[in-house]
Amino acid sequence: MPVHGWAIRLGRMCYLHGVVDDIYSIARRYWVAVVLEPGAQIWDFALDVIMAQTKSLTKANGSIRVLVADSTPLTTRLIADSLGRDHRLAIVHANGSSVLTAATTLKPDIVVLSEKLEATPGRGFTVLKMLREAVPKTRTIMLLDSDERDLVVEAFRSGARGVFSRNDPLKMLNKCVRKVHEGQLWASDNQVESLLGALVDAPTTRLLNSRGAKLLTKREEQVVRWLVEGLTNSGIARELKISENTVKNYLYRIFNKLGVSSRVEVLLYASNGNTQREQSG
């Protein structure tokens, strides 16, 4: 194949992965350089284009850096284009096979990731767990086809900081991205109810740290259990026969020990695999 054919092919690949905005940009740079420097190598200029794009995403004038990977290239592009209308967001997109590499290279603030990747349901959960290891500072929003309870619970257990249903208006995804970037969690009322239901149905659990050590006292675990049941501070106080102010003190200590700042985050911590089921009898 002629060299210019390789340039176009490489440009097309970079375009599909969201690295360049123009299929022919690498080919044009290459031919301009060949005139100025005979014997130049196409890969040098491909790298130049990629690094320039990486730099623009990294700097982005304070914008929120977002990597999008949906179930198909077409829907990925549509979501990326929709998010790109917000000048506060710097968008790059990838496919299911390249999202981990792209995230490791670009280190985005947010990854918008589909639960279904390359026609494989659940593959997004596997990729999400790998993203947590590779780029722990990056926060992920999981795209779900429905609010089915098992999907919602698995998304948060895998490490998602937000769940966005395709039934929701796409324009709300921009707000979702900004809120998750600010450190907040994103879940609809129905999704939170799904999470609560899963925790209520589960056996009693003990919250553990990464080394498997208990984080909470027995009393604090009781507070969390009633919190999972959906009780208010006054309701927890009645069940445990303590004052409402004592409940507030317990919650303050629980938040500090778990490194969270809200009741919903306690629920997510409890659902996120940082638990051990108590053995009965």
Q: What pLDDT shows up at residue 198?
A: 64
What is the torsion angle, in degrees rounded to the nearest 10, for the CA atoms of residue 126, residue 128, residue 133 and residue 134?
110
Q: According to the per-residue pLDDT averaged within each range, which of 53-57, 105-109, 197-201 is highest? A: 105-109
What are the two backbone dihedrals, phi and then psi, of residue 40, each rounded to the nearest 5 degrees? Answer: -65, 150
Return d(Cα 104, Cα 112) in angstroms, integer. 15
User: Does the structure show a pLDDT above 70 at 216?
Assistant: yes
Digit-coded pLDDT (tens) for 33-64? 444 444 445 445 444 445 545 544 544 556 89
Do residues 222 and 240 touch, judged by C-beta distance below 8 A?
yes
Lowest mean per-residue pLDDT among 29-33, 170-174, 207-211, 244-248: 29-33
pLDDT digits (tens, 9 = 90+) for 137-174: 999 999 999 888 888 888 888 889 999 999 899 989 99
Confidence category of residue 14, pLDDT binned at 50, 70, 90: low
Higher pLDDT pick, 55 / 269: 269
Q: Among candidates 57, 44, 61, which has minimal Cα distance to 18?
A: 57
Contact 95, 124 (CB under 8 A): no
User: Interhelix angle for 244-258 vs 218-228, to 10°?
Assistant: 100
- Single-letter amino acid code for the residue at 145: D
pLDDT confidence bin for 114, thresholds 50/70/90: very high
Share of the chain above pLDDT 70, in %: 67
List C-alpha distances in Å: 143 to 20, 68, 70, 86: 24, 10, 8, 19
pLDDT for the residue numbered 248: 92
pTM beyond 0.75: the answer is no
Tokens standing for 25?
A: 């940009």
Neighbouring C-beta atoms of residue 80, cutoff 10 Å: 21
| Euclidean distance between CA atoms 207 and 147, whole angstroms | 26
Q: What is the dihedral of CA 189, 249, 247, 152, to 10 degrees?
A: 20
Contacts of 230 (CB under 8 A, 6+ apart): 196, 200
Beta bridge partners of 121: 116
Both tokens of residue 35?
Answer: 């005139």
Q: What is the mean pLDDT of residues 18-46?
A: 51
Q: Kindly report the CA angle at 258 between 252 and 264, in degrees rounded to 5?
A: 75
